[in-house]
């Protein structure tokens, strides 16, 4: 993505140190790294303080909507800076709960203007902040697009996956006195 195409300023300021340095995120609200999104694509902006449960509740309700006008086929998760890990976590949890989702991921850098109030007030420094866009779609996507991941296949029951398909097995523990205890 060409940095010269990023040109808008969001009204929110993110303060890194109290009253000393402020960052103003800049970019173009109409430009995004994933082309061809449908108009009814849900856009979830994930921040460092976002609650994963709340985000996933909204998305799963819209994916499984009972009315056609409320139902979605695509969702885009975006996050930047310290919100990137939470963005990826939301996507991975959603992919496990909704089967057959195609994924397209794009990683890029946002520009941020840094106003230094310690030195010259008119001095503005530019900083690059990592960001990610992840599109999840029920409809097939272009597999030749960089960042594409096909839907996960359901593991066979006998594969010994991370999460058991049925009720958890009985756990046994060997005590110090040589007896075996069983726990459900």
What mean pLDDT do residues 33-38 have?
A: 81
Of 63-67, 109-113, 136-140, 164-168, highest mean pLDDT: 136-140
- Alpha carbon distance 105, 158 (integer Å): 31
Q: By the 8 A CB rule, do 138 and 151 touch? A: no
> Which one has a higher pLDDT value, 7 or 97?
97
Mean local confidence (pLDDT), 163-177? 54
Instruction: Calculate the average pLDDT of the chain.
Output: 74
pLDDT in tens, 68-89: 667 899 999 999 999 999 999 9
Task: Judge whether 112 and 127 are in contact, CB under 8 Å.
Answer: yes
pLDDT confidence of residue 120: 61
**CA 151: distance to chain centroid?**
17
Tell whether the torsion through CA atoms of 150, 152, 154 and 160 is positive or negative.
Answer: positive
Burial class of residue 149 in the structure, from the number of CB atoms within 10 Å of its CB (0-12 exposed, 13-18 middle, 19+ buried): middle
Q: How far apart are the first and last CA of the chain?
A: 54
């Amino acid at each position: 993505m060409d940095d010269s195409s990023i040109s808008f300023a969001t009204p929110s300021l993110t303060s890194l140190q109290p009253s000393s340095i402020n960052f103003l995120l800049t970019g173009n609200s109409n430009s995004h790294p994933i082309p061809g999104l449908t108009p009814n694509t849900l856009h979830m902006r994930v921040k460092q303080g976002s609650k994963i449960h709340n985000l996933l509740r909204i998305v799963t309700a819209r994916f499984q909507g009972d009315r056609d006008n409320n139902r979605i086929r695509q969702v885009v998760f975006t996050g930047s800076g310290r919100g990137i890990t939470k963005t990826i976590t939301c996507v991975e949890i959603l992919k496990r709960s909704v089967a057959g989702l195609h994924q397209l991921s794009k990683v890029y850098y946002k520009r941020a203007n840094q106003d230094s109030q310690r030195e010259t007030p008119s001095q503005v420094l530019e900083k690059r902040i990592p960001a990610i866009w992840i599109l999840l779609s029920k409809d097939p996507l272009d597999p030749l697009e960089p960042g594409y991941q096909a839907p996960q296949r359901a593991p066979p029951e006998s594969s010994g996956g991370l999460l058991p398909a049925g009720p958890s097995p009985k756990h046994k523990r060997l005590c110090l006195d040589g007896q075996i205890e069983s726990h459900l």
